[in-house]
């Protein structure tokens, strides 16, 4: 049994303009101790997915169908009270912007202590002691003094550490980190990621890391899911995705990252923009932007299949690479035509290619 | 900076402010056209020598700054001189009426705070529902209706038609007698309604804004119950802007009391002020204006301290 199993999750937002389909039959699993990356453009449904797991989808959002099982228990069946007992306790969340996630009116220490008092119910003094320990464990110097500081007295990096301390304070089994390093500079980012890594290893905590930074995923995650318009287009162990991406969108994302030693004047971008989640294009949602799209792509929605066998994807099989592209069901006449080059240090070597050179107009 | 140091600093700033108010009060009264002698002597024709004698007796022949300093020194000791109209010590006249206005004003303020804050919270939390719409209409009415008119309507409905309140204030009853307290309710309501409406709308908008912030989601993500999320995290931040405006409401309540006291024949400072302005009773007017000014300064001081208590970022 996986730590987290999301199955056919559909989240809808009922807005004045229409129904926004934030996630569409989204399924994925995260194992205990696994570091699972979720990437995609803004609006791909990454954050909604994490809020859904936390049970914090707010109006006008509604979880319309699906299951979210945590240690086998369907979270959507729980009442508010039972959900609150898990939240912050067994499932914790790290927010993107620590500066706004911290309440300016209370001391950092109080904001950590209150969760400890609420869930673990120790005395006032014991909660404070534990909070100071947490601050120390995330590398905040002089934690006993820092305990009674207000958020505005912390630097950005320290604020993010405090938010992480908060998430860790009740020894969660699953941490959902929503862009935990986006607001930070790269040095602090590296420190924070190392810290998260240490924690995940020490306590066997599962981490679902949401980001649009592919570099962070490569460094930190075991497995990843690429989301587009509310559903996964590719899911596989990180190495497989980087060395051998199987979906045109993933390829597009990869080629839009700048690399050291890059001699391109301009970065490649994926033309167009993500479809309107109210009126999604028929067939494959990505076809209007896909250089390999054929007529069939406008009609048939590609299922998520194992790219080796072409069989329907099995979310329980963690080693498989799955993608949602008709190229893998044999319905395209052309082939995906691209070459992937991964540079290791200064040596560059072609690693794999899925194209055979024939143009696929 | 600690809260205590902030309060000290803020208190120090109050000193020049208070001096400024005394100066303005003194100057203002002296710019009123007309010779005070005429009001003292009730416009009787007098020869210049007698006039000069009266002038000297009241110290009106001294240079203006000496008059100011004399007045300031006396005022600092609580002596505002003698009323021209009644020949009574001004301090005594004011002391008799101050408690009534204080009671009415505090009642109005308490009514405003006690209804506005919970109503604002409810409207914000249930925004765009029936609760919110009803409160919006009520607030609009509360702001639009002038307090003197509301006073008249309250008298008409509750004192005249329903006969549950007396029309005139009880005579010979002490300040804290139940009759007086009951009688004070209607004028307090008349004054407090505008402030209630304003504070409620402000509380709502401030809270709606706060509810959308990340720290609220964060507090929920910690598994805290809604009561704690709203009552602890959101409330404190929402109150910050409300506190400032609530302090300004003290000034509105004081100025409102002037008109409403007339409407209700209420034995307070407001009615005294109107009476004495008619009679050019300078010592009383000066004292009253000064008291009102000082009250507003201290209300603002209190607001600033409360503000710093609520928002730690203010304290430096």
Task: Tell me the domain boundaries of chain A.
Answer: 100-169
Cβ–Cβ gap A88/B221 under 8 Å: yes
Q: Does A127 touch chain B (CB under 8 A)?
A: no
ipTM (interface predicted TM): 0.83
For A119, which residue in chain B has the nearest alpha carbon?
A: B223
pLDDT at residue A360 above 70? Answer: no
For B312, which residue in chain A has the nearest alpha carbon?
A: A105
Residues B299, B269: Cα–Cα separation, whole Å = 18
Q: How far is the alpha carbon of A145 from chain B, nearest alpha carbon, in Å?
A: 15
Q: In what order do the strands lie in the sheet with A18-30?
A: A18-30, A4-15, A61-70, A73-74
Nearest to A88 among B213, B223, B237 (CB): B223
Q: How far is the alpha carbon of A150 from chain B, nearest alpha carbon, in Å?
A: 7
Residue to substitute from A92, A99, A103, interface B, most B β-carbons within 10 A: A103
Q: Are A102 and A163 in contact (CB under 8 A)?
A: yes
Chain B hits for A118, Cβ within 8 Å: 222-224, 228
Q: Does A117 touch chain B (CB under 8 A)?
A: no
Cβ–Cβ gap A87/B221 under 8 Å: yes
Supply φ then ψ for residue A211, to 5 degrees: -160, 160
Element at A228 (helix H, strand E): strand A223-228
Q: How far is the alpha carbon of A61 from chain B, nearest alpha carbon, in Å?
A: 14
Q: What is the DSSP letter of A184?
A: S
Q: Render pLDDT for A321-353 as a digit per residue (tens, 0 to 9).
A: 999 888 888 888 877 777 776 665 544 444 444
In order along its 316 residues, chain B shows pLDDT tens digits of: 678 888 888 889 999 999 999 999 888 877 877 777 777 777 777 788 888 888 887 777 788 888 889 889 988 898 888 888 888 999 999 998 999 999 999 999 999 999 999 999 999 999 889 989 999 999 999 999 998 899 999 989 988 888 888 777 777 667 778 888 888 889 999 999 999 999 999 999 999 999 999 999 999 999 999 999 999 999 999 998 898 889 888 888 888 888 899 998 888 899 999 998 888 888 898 899 898 888 889 888 988 888 888 888 877 6
Q: How far is the alpha carbon of B93 from chain A, nearest alpha carbon, in Å?
A: 46
For A153, which residue in chain B has the nearest alpha carbon?
A: B313
Question: What CATH fold (topology level) applies to the domain B90-315?
Answer: MetI-like fold (1.10.3720)
For A80, which residue in chain B has the nearest alpha carbon?
A: B225
If 0-12 CB within 10 Å is exposed, 13-18 middle and 19+ buried, where does residue A155 land? Answer: exposed
How many CA atoms, within 13 angstroms, populate the side-chain half-sphere of residue A140? Answer: 30
Both tokens of B193, joined, read 């309604």
């Amino acid at each position: 049994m996986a730590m987290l199993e999301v199955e056919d999750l559909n989240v809808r937002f009922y807005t004045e303009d229409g129904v926004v389909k934030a996630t569409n039959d989204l399924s994925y699993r995260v194992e205990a101790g696994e570091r699972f990356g979720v990437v995609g453009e803004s609006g791909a449904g990454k954050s909604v997915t994490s809020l859904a797991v936390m049970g914090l989808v707010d109006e006008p959002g509604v979880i319309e169908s699906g299951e979210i099982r945590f240690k086998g228990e369907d979270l959507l069946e729980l009442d508010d009270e039972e959900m609150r007992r898990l939240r912050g306790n067994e499932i914790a969340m790290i927010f993107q912007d620590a500066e706004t996630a911290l309440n300016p009116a209370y001391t950092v220490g109080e904001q950590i202590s209150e969760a400890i008092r609420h869930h673990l119910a120790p005395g006032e003094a014991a909660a404070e002691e534990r909070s100071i320990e947490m601050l120390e464990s995330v590398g905040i110097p002089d934690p006993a003094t820092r305990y009674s500081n207000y958020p505005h007295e912390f630097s950005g990096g320290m604020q993010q550490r405090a938010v992480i301390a908060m998430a860790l304070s009740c020894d969660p089994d699953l941490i959902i980190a929503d862009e935990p390093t986006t607001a930070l500079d790269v040095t602090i980012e590296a420190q924070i990621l190392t810290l998260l890594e240490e924690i995940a290893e020490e306590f066997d905590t599962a981490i679902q890391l949401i980001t649009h930074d592919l570099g962070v995923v490569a460094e930190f995650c075991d497995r990843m899911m690429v989301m587009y318009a509310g559903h996964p287009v590719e899911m596989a162990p990180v190495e497989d995705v980087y060395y051998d991406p199987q979906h045109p969108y993933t390829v597009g994302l990869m080629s839009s990252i700048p690399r050291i030693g890059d001699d391109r004047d301009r970065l490649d971008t994926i033309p167009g923009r993500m479809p309107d989640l109210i009126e999604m294009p028929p067939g494959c949602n990505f076809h209007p932007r896909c250089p390999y799209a054929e007529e069939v792509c406008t009609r048939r929605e590609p299922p998520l299949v194992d790219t080796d066998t072409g069989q329907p994807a099995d979310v329980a099989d963690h080693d498989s690479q799955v993608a949602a592209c008709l190229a893998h069901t044999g319905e395209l006449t052309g082939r995906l035509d691209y070459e992937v080059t991964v540079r290791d240090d200064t040596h560059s070597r072609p690693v794999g290619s899925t194209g055979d050179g024939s143009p696929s107009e | 900076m600690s809260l205590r140091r902030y309060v000290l600093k803020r208190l120090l700033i109050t000193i020049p402010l208070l001096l400024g108010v005394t100066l303005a009060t003194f100057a203002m009264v002296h710019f009123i056209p007309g010779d005070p002698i005429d009001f003292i002597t009730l416009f009787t024709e007098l020869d210049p020598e007698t006039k000069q004698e009266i002038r000297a007796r009241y110290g009106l022949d001294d240079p203006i700054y000496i008059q100011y300093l004399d007045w300031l020194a006396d005022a600092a000791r609580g002596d505002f001189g003698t009323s021209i109209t009644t020949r009574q010590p001004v301090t005594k006249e004011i002391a008799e009426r101050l408690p009534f206005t204080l009671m009415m004003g505090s009642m109005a303020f308490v009514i405003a705070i006690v209804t506005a804050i919970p109503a604002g919270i409810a409207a914000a939390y249930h925004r765009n529902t029936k609760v919110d719409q009803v409160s919006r209409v009520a607030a609009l009415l509360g702001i639009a209706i002038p307090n003197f008119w509301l006073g008249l309507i309250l008298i008409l409905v509750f004192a005249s038609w329903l006969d549950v309140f007396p029309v005139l204030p009880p005579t010979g009853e002490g300040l804290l007698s139940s009759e007086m307290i009951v009688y004070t309710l209607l004028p307090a309501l008349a004054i407090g309604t505008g402030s209630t409406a304003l504070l409620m709308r402000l509380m709502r908008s401030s809270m709606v804004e706060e509810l959308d912030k990340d720290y609220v989601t964060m507090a929920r993500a910690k598994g805290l119950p809604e009561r704690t999320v709203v009552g602890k995290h959101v409330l404190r931040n929402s109150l910050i802007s409300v506190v400032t405006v609530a302090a300004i409401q003290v000034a509105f309540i004081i100025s409102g009391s002037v008109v409403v006291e007339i409407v209700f024949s209420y034995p307070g400072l407001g009615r005294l002020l109107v009476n004495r302005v008619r009679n050019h009773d300078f010592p009383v007017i000066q004292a009253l204006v000064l008291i009102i000014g000082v009250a507003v300064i201290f209300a603002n001081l209190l607001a600033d301290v409360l503000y710093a208590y609520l928002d730690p970022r203010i304290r430096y």
